[in-house]
Every structure is written in structure tokens, then in C-alpha cells.
Structure 1
Amino acid sequence: MSDLTNTVKGNKTAPSAAENFGLTNPVLWLSGGFIALFIALALYDSVLLSSLINTGFGWAIKIFGPYWQLLLLLTFIIGLVLALGRTGNVKLGDLEQPEIETIRWIPILLCTLLAGGGVFWAAAEPIAHYITVPPLYGEVASPWQRAINALAQSFMHWGFFAWSITGCLTSIILSHLHYDKGLPLQPRTLLYPLLGDRALKGATGAIIDACCVIAVAAGTIGPIGFLGLQISFALNSLFAIPDGFTTQFIVILFAIAIYTLSALSGLNRGIQILSRWNIILAVALMAYILFVGPTGFIISGYLQGVGTMIDNIIPMATYRGDENWLSWWTVFFWGWFLGYGPMMAIFITRISRGRTIRQLILTLSLCAPLITCFWFTIVGGTGVAFEIADPGSVSKAFEGFNLPGALLAITQQLPFPTIISLLFLILTTIFIVTTGDSMTYTISVVISGSTEPNALIRAFWGVVMGITAIILISLGSGGVSALQSFIVITAVPVSLILLPSLWDAPRIALRMAKAQGL
């Protein structure tokens, strides 16, 4: 270990241009080649691609669904134990004070991890569960209880477990091995405690990194593509702008331009500026809806919805009674979030240096989820309240699982509907742009091997993912839908990479506590 540490930390020659751009890294060719093959097959025979993906999707859900449910549950529980015990005082990253102040750190976390789900899913999922009751709860006569159950189910999907898997345990491992031991800030480092040098060198390390890059690229390309589809639909509904490929193309080009400029401005400017303004806009919209919307329903729904979620969290987390429902809801979401896990951990490790384990885990596992739940109540809870008062006012627009339709049906019932609708579209765009920026950063870190990757390589990956999204939506919504299902398939190897963190993170946290005299 010491030899490896000395090798990493010792004197090295300056990297060449090829190394800076990752051209000598096999991960670039493995991940880039796989994405290129995916696009080529989509262009050649999209029907065949969809058939292959649907088969793989069904297999992943059936075989790995129960494992994913346990993995997320245990990650949350173990994380809380580490945060609340003496290990909670451990400082991460060999730094006494946080590198990024709290007022900037929290907005970056919220905007990056909440992403596009923070708007369209917040509007659509509560109304979806209100219309079609989750099987765990069953039919109830009271519209109020039906609404509470719908909110509680939505909270579970976007709450404690979803946030925990993005870095509660894995960030502890990466912080120690990267900052204290000098190992690379790459997904392969997560398996170093298990595999030793084999995880860092040769084909094994390259395959580990490539799996994670493919998963997060797919998970980012999908929302970028859906951004084009959803914004185009909304502009057509609001201003009769044609809802076609041209509009979708322009929307995605605009998004590419924003996060390319953000990437070129550097980590300490672009992402922080976007995150700060996005949080300001989100808070303003929350305050507005809370004031002019169904205030009593929102407050009561949030309190009782959170209480219902906590009361039923174990039954919801371990529910296996309806595999078909799980494949479209809980297990689908778990696969999506798992795919982001290692790369999000790299990003969180990079921005959380100097934080304690308690600060990191309680912010990720409790504070951020509770804020997310309140946001879902503000947006989706308002929609459910409108639906109860006027049946069909939201559900009709949502028919066919129309996510932007549900959002517009809600905003159109508020004062100044056009302005509010536009602000929500801007908010969605910045959410996804922030995620695109942060994920291009982490991909560039992995490919280049530097925690300060060249701005041009970050811009390159951002443009590549945007162009990929454009190609897929040119095939129709089926192209992006196939990618969304593919995200779940990519979660299979990634979930295996995350598994050892269940025992490695506690062991490393205890070792760090001892070293820091705690």
C-alpha cells in the first residue's frame, strides 16, 4: 500500500496532451465505443434494439430487483449508524475546514442530484399514484387518505434511499483512499479494499470504470433527450410552437450551449452559479405556490405524507407483492439511481472535502430528502388537491403518462399561468443542465485521471452526450425510451461495484476515527 501511495504521490512527469484528453486510457475507447455501438444499432434497426433492451430490462428487474431493494435499504441504515456514532466526527479529505462553504455546497448537491426529476416527476408521480393506487396500500374510499398514500409512495422513491445511494458510504471510501492514500478518484478505487492492485491496473480497472461511465452517460443522455421532448410539448401547449424535431433540436442545442459554457468556466464558477440561481428560482416558486395555492393541503399533506412514509418505510422498501408494478416504479427508480452511484460519489467527494461524515450523511440521507419531499408536495400535492376539487383537471392531461402535461395542468390553474409555466420550464432546464455539467466533469475526471480536467475535454463530453440525445430523439420518442430502459440494465454491474461499500465504509470510517483520535 505504501509503495502504491508513494508511486501515486511521488514525482511524475507532466502529462502529455493525449493523456490530458484520455486518449491513452482504455476506458475512453471502451465506453465511447459502446455508446457509439448503441447509436449505430439504433440508427440501423431501432426495433431490434428495443427488443434486445426490453429483454435485458425484464431480466435485470426480475433477477436483481430484490437485491437492489436490500442494497438501498442497507446503505441508508449503515450510513445513519456511521453518522450518529463516534465515526460521525471524522473529517473527510485530510482538510480541517470545508473546501466549499455550506451555503454553496448544499445548492450544488440539491441541483445536481435532484436533476430533471425535480420538476416533471414531482408533478406527475403523486397524481399517478392517486389515480392508480400503489398495491401496498390498496383502494381506500377517502380522497384525502388516497392523496396521502400517493404522496408517501412518491416520497419513498425520491427520498432517503435515493439520496443515500449516491454517496453516503462510497464518498467515505473515496475520500480516504484518494485524499489520504493518493489513489485515483475513479470508480475502480471503490474495489481497491476488496481486490487490491488488481482493481487499479489492467483490464479489471478499465472495465470497472467503463461500466460506470456508460451507466452515468446513459442516465444523463436520457434526461437531456426528454428535456427536448418535454419542453417542445410545453411550448406547443403554451404558444402553439410546432412540437417536432426542429423545436426539440433547438432546445437541446440551447442546453448544450449552457453547460458547455459552464464547463469552460470551471468547477468553482459554472456549477455553483447555476445551482445558486436554480435554488433561488425554486424557492421563489415554492413560496408563490404555497401562498396562492392550496396552502392547507400542502402543509397537512407534507406532514402526514412524511409520517406515513416513515411508518411504512420498511414495508415499502421490501415490498415484492406485484413485480409488474415494481418494474415500472420502485425497482425502475432504484436501477436509475444506482447507475449514477459511483460517478455521483466521485463528484460528492470532490466538493465535500473537509466535511465530517456526520455532515455529509445527514445532509444526503435526511436533509436533502426532506427538502425533496416538500418540493414534491408543493408541485405534485398541489396537482392532487386540484384533482380532488375538480376531478379530471389534472388526470386528463396526464393520460398516456404525459409528464409535461401533468405539470402544465397544474401551473395553468395558478394565477399568472403562462409566466409560472415558463419559470418551471426554465427551472427544469437548469436542473438538467447542472446535472449534465457535473456528470461531464466526473466523466472527464475518470477519463483524464485528473481532479481538474481540461475544460475542453469536459466540453467535449457534454457536446457528445447532447448530440447522442439529438440522434436518439430523431428516431422518435422510442429512441430515448429505449435508452431509459437501458439505464436499468447498466445498473446491474454498477450495483455489484457498490456492494462492498456496505462493509468497507464502516471499516474505513473506524480506521479514520482511530487515526484522528476519536
Structure 2
Amino acid sequence: MRYLACLVAVHLDMTDSNPAVADGTGSSAHRLGDPIVLTLSIGFIVAFIALSLYDIDMVAGGIATGFAWTAKTMGSYFQLLLLLTFFIAIGVAVSPSALARIGKLDTPELSTFKWLSMIMCTLLAGGGVFFAAGEPVYHFIVTPPAFSTEPGTPEAVAGALAQSFMHWGFLGWAVLGTLAAVALAHAHYDKGLPLQPRTLLTPVLGERLMKGPLGGVVDALCVIAVVAGTVGPIGFLATQVSFGLHRVFGVADGYTTQLAVLVMLGLIYVTSAVSGIHRGIQLLSRFNVLLALAIAAVILVFGPTLFLTNAFFQGFGTYLGSFFEMATMTSQTAPDWWMQWWTVFFFAWFIGYGPLMAIFVARISRGRTIRQVIVAVAVMAPVATAIWFTLLGGSGIYHQLSGTFDLSQALNNFQFDVATLTVAESLPGGSVMVLAILLLTTIFVATTGDSMSYAISVVGSGHDDPSPVIRAFWGVAMALMAGILLYMGAGQISALQQFIVITAIPVSLVMLPTLWTGPRAARAMAREQGLVED
């Protein structure tokens, strides 16, 4: 998930949204962060690096074992959680309660374009950077278990795109910002509870328990999941840009170049995180959306237009027609390796991001109706993602089918950086398009880094205006972790990214109550605003 991005970028009015600050009770010590959250999350980073330095094979092997067990044992549970979240959210969206507005504002705080841009910069960052070009081609040359078409043939195109749409579609987006966002918005704006993951468990375990050490542990687990999911894209971005610079300009593709890319990327997103939503974060997200639209227009106008148009409609139709078959695929009907590296991996990734993404959606959606939020996150964003995957991945399929290149070996080895650059070179404009894709990739990951730095700081500090020093600390910490792990080898970046599947187990328990607290919160908001009767 991934990818996935622009997460929890918030610059709040402290006196309006944080009771502790408003009444003067927020001490400077408290502003530095919850000691339990800081200790556990920073301790995780230190322990992961230290253990990797001590015995890299032990760490990678242990995570691989836990990864495989989680995917096999918990996969069906993750799938069911996402299915229920999506359909219950749609039910809320069509109910009278959906007319309630979030955050006690009569008009939206952000314009529609800014709002949608920041939403799209979240999950599409991960998908657009690492999987949009390669995943559809992979499913084209390796037929997914839900389909029986011969790989590499015209008949395999629709199924390949449909499988990609499943991984990056309605279910993944819904768990990131629908029911949980509604529950958090009601708890925060109407009840004065903090925008923290622990708030999602308050209706179940009680406010007193969640204010204690257990609440800190819950927040820390969610932070650790996001760190594991974010450091991966940061590290892989360095390898992808290094490879691209080597391919286009002949720059040496090695650790020195990767480190230089990390330093540049870190400077961008740390500066953005410190400046806040109305400055760097907003500018990066808006620029990236405009650049993505420009690239999409060039591909659609000057590329294989008819092929891409037909592929999208056929692929989306197949996605809808085979929706439940793909969504409920298990290890009994699909190989274990396929499930753990594709469907379960992505679903667990999205769950790991769920609480912090819900905080983001709740914060940037003040003044929006519940219906607008759910439709934007669970319907509009997945459709936009499907179009983007069709333009890049569909172009890759077109050239794979026509024999322009052969990505079979690269994708069978999961070399998605090679796939992205190869597809980019085949797009209209050649090297110019490669540079545009690299720039888009860099800014996408930067928007992930800045918003994640801000998000973790919000969660750790316990209030809505974390210290710029803390924001910068988390940004630097994630870049430093990526640099150290890259020095050990890209395999440790992959191991860390697999770890988010394991962390999805406790995080899913944080998300589980939203299946009933989300609808209840929506009705409570509508009742308080006089839209429905008791």
C-alpha cells in the first residue's frame, strides 16, 4: 500500500483543535512526545539496524518466516476486514447520516482540487512509483490464479489489469480513509479526543485505559508499521533513481549515487514537513498531481490510444465481474507464494497504514460531508489509480505484446525498477519521459516522506502541533535508516517492507472496531447536526 503518501500532512489551528493547547495545559515537555511511543518506535529502528549489523541473515530469515506465516494464517482475515470495511462504508455513504459535515464547519477548509490532490498523493505514491508499470506486465506474463488465459496473449490483457486493479482498488483505499476517518473525526472534533490511533479503541476499552501505557503501545505499533512501510519506498527510490541516472546519463550506479539521492530526497521532504501543509506539503502534492496529469495526457494522446482505452474498459469490466473471486482467493485456490507476495502483502500493507491515513483524511476533510469523503477515498481515488495503472502498465503490456522489449526475466526476479525505466523509455518522448517519470517518482516519495514525518510526530506528541524539531527528526531518522539498510544490501530494505505484513496483525485489531463505531459515529454526527432523529 502503498505506496502507497501525502499522509497526515496537517497544519492545525491549535486553539481550535487541541484542547490541551487551547487551555494552556500543553507543556513544552509534552510537545516533545509521548515517552512510550518515542521509546518503542525509536527502539524498533535501533534494534532492527543493530540486529541487521549483528546477523543480517538471521533478521532476514526471521522476518521471512513471520511474513510467510502471517500471510498464510491471517490472509483470509485481512481480506474479510477489507471487504467488510468497503461495503459498510458504501452503506454509510448512501444513508441519511452521510450528509453530516466533518469538523463543525459549514464549508470545506480546503478547495476540492487541493483536497483531492492530497488524497491521491497517499496511496498512488507507492503504486505509481513502484508497481504501476511493472505489475500489470507481470500479471500479463504470469497469469493470476483467478484466470485461466494463456499468458502473453491478447486474451490475458484484461485479467492482468483486473488483478492490478484489485490490489490497488476499492478495498485497499477503503481501509485507509473511510470508517476509521469518520470515527476519528467524530471523536476528535465532537468529543475532544486526540487524533491518535488509540482513539479508535476508546469505545471498546475505555478512555481511562487508552490514556495509560496501553494507549502508548497501540500508537507505537501503528508508528512502527508506518516506518516499516515508508522506509522501503525511500530506499527503493534511491535505487530506482540511481539506476535511471545510469541508464540515461551513464552515472555510476552504486551506493555513492544512491546515498546522494537519499540526501537530496531527505532535504526535500524534511523541509516540506517542517513547513507544514499550507507550504511545502501542499506545493509538492499539487505539483505532483499536475505533473502526473501531464504525463498521462502525453501517453494517452501520443501512445497506443485505442489499445489503452479498450484495455481499461475490458480490464475494469473484468475487475468488477471477477471482484469476489479475486478478493476471496486463498492459499487453497492459489499458490502460497503468490498470495503472500501479492494479494495478502498489499492488503496487509494498507492495513498497516490505516490508522495514520485515517487521521490524515479526518484532518484534511473538515467541512466535507461524510458522503463526499467516502466517495472520494473509496470510489474516485481507486478509479483514478486504475487509469494510471492502465496508462503505464497498459503501455508496458502493449510493447511486451508487440515484442518491443521482454520484461519476463526482470519481473520474475521482482526487478520493478528495471520494468519502470524500460516502460518509460518506450513512452512518447523517450529519454525526456524517463526524466519526467524519475522526477515524478522522486516527488511522490518526497510527499510520502514529509507527510509520514508529520504524521508520526502528531501521533507521538499527542497533539496537533508537533515541534518542527520532532518532525525533522523523524524525517532524518527514516532517511538514515534507509541509507544504512541500503549499505547492507537492498535485501534488508525488502525485509523491512515485509515486516509491515507482520505488524498488520496488531494494527488490524485497532481497525476492527471501526466496522461498527464508524457507522455509529456517522449517525451521531448527523443527529447532532439535526439531520436525523433519534
TM-score above 0.5, yes or no: yes
Change (3 A) 1:10 1:401: closer
Structure 1 counterpart of 2:483, which letter? I
Aligned to 1:86: 96
Structure 2 counterpart of 1:355, which letter? R
Q: Distance in 2 between matches of 1:103 and 1:317?
A: 31
Whether 1:400 aligns to 2:413 is yes
Aligned to 1:129: 139
Query: Cα offset for 1:508?
Result: 1.6
Aligned to 2:222: 212
Q: For residues 206-225 of structure 1, what are the alpha-carbon distances to aligned partners after superposition, in whole Å with 9 as ceiling and x for unaligned?
A: 11101000001111111101
Structure 2 counterpart of 1:240, which letter? G
Whether 1:458 aligns to 2:468 is no
Whether 1:296 aligns to 2:273 is no
Which among 491, 495, 516 is matched to residue 504 of structure 2? 491
Query: Cα offset for 1:397?
Result: 4.9
Which among 416, 430, 434 is matched to residue 417 of structure 1? 430
Please identify, of 113-122 and 438-447, the stretch whose mean Cα deviation from structure 2 is larger.
113-122
Query: Cα offset for 1:396?
Result: 5.0
Aligned to 2:401: 388
Please identify, of 248-257 and 132-141, the stretch whose mean Cα deviation from structure 2 is larger.
132-141
Pairwise mapping of residues 257-276 of structure 1 onto structure 2 (< 5 A)?
A: 257-276=267-286
Is the CA contact (8 Å cut-off) linking 1:232 and 1:251 kept in structure 2? yes
Q: Distance in 2 between matches of 1:49 and 1:399?
A: 24
Structure 2 counterpart of 1:407, which letter? T
Q: Distance in 1 between matches of 2:152 and 2:348?
A: 33
Change (3 A) 1:393 1:318: same
Which among 464, 479, 484 is matched to residue 471 of structure 1? 484
Aligned to 2:526: 513
Is the CA contact (8 Å cut-off) linking 2:140 and 2:152 kept in structure 1? no
Is the CA contact (8 Å cut-off) linking 2:141 and 2:152 kept in structure 1? no
Pairwise mapping of residues 428-439 of structure 1 onto structure 2 (< 5 A)?
A: 428-439=441-452
Please identify, of 354-363 and 400-409, the stretch whose mean Cα deviation from structure 2 is larger.
400-409
Q: Distance in 1 between matches of 2:435 and 2:357?
A: 29
Q: For residues 101-159 of structure 1, what are the alpha-carbon distances to aligned partners after superposition, in whole Å with 9 as ceiling and x for unaligned?
A: 11111001101221132133000100000010001102337822201100000011011
Q: Distance in 1 between matches of 2:247 and 2:208?
A: 55
Aligned to 1:3: none
Query: Cα offset for 1:170?
Result: 0.3
Is the CA contact (8 Å cut-off) linking 1:338 and 1:495 kept in structure 2? yes
Structure 2 counterpart of 1:351, which letter? I
What secondary structure is seen at the aligned counterpart in 2 of 1:178? helix
What secondary structure is seen at the aligned counterpart in 1 of 2:206? helix
Aligned to 2:354: 341
Whether 1:176 aligns to 2:186 is yes
Change (3 A) 1:174 1:16: same
Q: Distance in 1 between matches of 2:19 and 2:291?
A: 43
Whether 1:69 aligns to 2:79 is yes
Which among 16, 39, 57 is matched to residue 27 of structure 2? 16
Change (3 A) 1:39 1:9: closer
Q: For residues 474-502 of structure 1, what are the alpha-carbon distances to aligned partners after superposition, in whole Å with 9 as ceiling and x for unaligned?
A: 10111101101111111110011101100
Query: Cα offset for 1:391?
Result: 6.3
Unaligned runs of 5+ in 1: 1-6
Q: Distance in 1 between matches of 2:35 and 2:244?
A: 42
Which among 347, 357, 369 is matched to residue 356 of structure 1? 369
Query: Cα offset for 1:200?
Result: 2.2
What's the RMSD between the two structures over aligned residues? 1.6
Whether 1:156 aligns to 2:166 is yes
Please identify, of 403-412 and 425-434, the stretch whose mean Cα deviation from structure 2 is larger.
403-412
Please identify, of 381-390 and 411-420, the stretch whose mean Cα deviation from structure 2 is larger.
411-420
Q: Distance in 2 between matches of 1:410 and 1:13?
A: 55
Aligned to 2:4: none
Is the CA contact (8 Å cut-off) linking 1:134 and 1:153 kept in structure 2? yes
What secondary structure is seen at the aligned counterpart in 2 of 1:93? helix
Which among 201, 213, 232 is matched to residue 191 of structure 1? 201
Using the size of structure 2 for normalisation, the TM-score is: 0.93
Q: Distance in 2 between matches of 1:26 and 1:484?
A: 23
Q: Distance in 1 between matches of 2:468 and 2:372?
A: 30
Whether 1:235 aligns to 2:235 is no
Is the CA contact (8 Å cut-off) linking 1:216 and 1:340 kept in structure 2? yes
Query: Cα offset for 1:88?
Result: 1.3
Is the CA contact (8 Å cut-off) linking 1:218 and 1:483 kept in structure 2? yes
Q: For residues 195-244 of structure 1, what are the alpha-carbon distances to aligned partners after superposition, in whole Å with 9 as ceiling and x for unaligned?
A: 11244221210111010000011111111011111111222222221111
Query: Cα offset for 1:392?
Result: 4.1
Please identify, of 10-19 and 228-237, the stretch whose mean Cα deviation from structure 2 is larger.
10-19
What secondary structure is seen at the aligned counterpart in 2 of 1:137? coil
Structure 2 counterpart of 1:112, which letter? T
What secondary structure is seen at the aligned counterpart in 1 of 2:102? coil
Is the CA contact (8 Å cut-off) linking 1:393 and 1:409 kept in structure 2? no
Q: Distance in 1 between matches of 2:73 and 2:190?
A: 38
Query: Cα offset for 1:162?
Result: 1.0
Is the CA contact (8 Å cut-off) linking 2:85 and 2:515 kept in structure 1? yes
Structure 2 counterpart of 1:477, which letter? A
Change (3 A) 1:109 1:199: farther
Structure 1 counterpart of 2:31, which letter? N
Aligned to 2:15: none
Q: Distance in 1 between matches of 2:511 and 2:409?
A: 41
Whether 1:332 aligns to 2:342 is no
Unaligned runs of 5+ in 2: 1-17
Percent identical among aligned pairs is: 50
Structure 2 counterpart of 1:484, which letter? Q
Which among 36, 46, 60 is matched to residue 50 of structure 1? 60
Is the CA contact (8 Å cut-off) linking 1:88 and 1:356 kept in structure 2? yes
Change (3 A) 1:228 1:142: closer
Structure 1 counterpart of 2:78, which letter? W
Is the CA contact (8 Å cut-off) linking 1:170 and 1:505 kept in structure 2? yes
Is the CA contact (8 Å cut-off) linking 1:124 and 1:406 kept in structure 2? yes
Whether 1:312 aligns to 2:325 is no
Aligned residues between the structures = 511
Structure 1 counterpart of 2:528, which letter? A
Structure 2 counterpart of 1:372, which letter? T
Change (3 A) 1:11 1:475: closer
Query: Cα offset for 1:265?
Result: 1.6
Q: Distance in 1 between matches of 2:411 and 2:188?
A: 46
